[in-house]
Every structure is written in C-alpha cells, then in structure tokens.
Amino acid sequence: MPRLKVIQELSRTWYRDVSLGDCCQVKIKAEVIPDNEAMERISKGKGQTDDPSAPLHVQLWTDKKDYKEKEKIKIFIRGNKPFYARIVHKGGNGELLQLLPNPYRKDHYFNGGVIYEILQDKIDLK
C-alpha cells in the first residue's frame, strides 16, 4: 500500500449523504510514496488493470476507431480503484467540448473494477 505524506490541508467541508450519514470531505496537497512491491508486480505485467493495491490505472476506449459526422460515440472507462474523471472531446476544428461531467451526468466519480459507458446520446459532437 502506498504511503501518503500530507503537505497541506486545502479545505474541509462537512455534508450529509443520504446513504452514509454525516461525511467530511477534505482536500489535501500530498506526497504519495509508492509501494515498491506493487510497483515490482506492475513492472512484471501482473494485474495492473485489476489490482486495487497498484497505483491508479484508468483505461478509456471507444467502440470503434473512426466516426462519421453527427454519429454518436460510445466511450467506456474503467479504473482499478475508485477515481474521479473529466472527459474532454477535441473536435477537428480544435474546439474543446467537456463530455463529462455534463448536465445529464453531473457525477464524475467512478468505482474501481467497473466498466462504465459514457452515453453521448444527448450531446451532439460536430
């Protein structure tokens, strides 16, 4: 398990979650010291994508390589441990469009070991 050295506490907020009760969200600036044993397993190719004790590894892929204009893109995302993600599409004209979070999926938290499909049926990619 990696070690964590807290350098600075940036903020602390209390909130109530319906399923968990009172929760405290703390944002910190930290130094992460990797687990040498986990790093050795990864370097030998043993289960980086599935091992929750390994450093965070996120995979992002689509259902196909090429799309036609106005065609809906299927995006899949998976991590080996819980993580937050923001997905941005860069169009052919260089314009950036944030796909996630969006008005239809405001939550950008993902559980580890789960494959998520990011639905783009509400967003028109040009």
pLDDT of residue 14: 93
- CA atoms of 119 and 49, how far apart (whole Å): 23
Would residue 41 count as lying in a domain?
Answer: no
Domains contained in the chain, number = 1
Residue 17 lies in a domain: no
Is 11 inside a domain boundary? no
Query: Is residue 6 in some structural domain?
Result: no
Domain that holds residue 118: 52-126
pLDDT at 122: 46
pTM: predicted TM-score of the whole model, two decimal places: 0.54
Name residue, tokens 């602390």.
Answer: 12
In a domain, 119, yes or no: yes
In a domain, 62, yes or no: yes
pLDDT value of residue 70: 76
16 is a domain residue: no
Tell me how far apart the alpha carbons of residues 11 and 91 are, in angstroms, rounded to a whole number: 35
Q: What is the pLDDT of residues 54-113, one digit of tens each?
A: 788 899 888 888 878 777 878 899 999 999 998 888 877 888 888 888 887 788 899 999
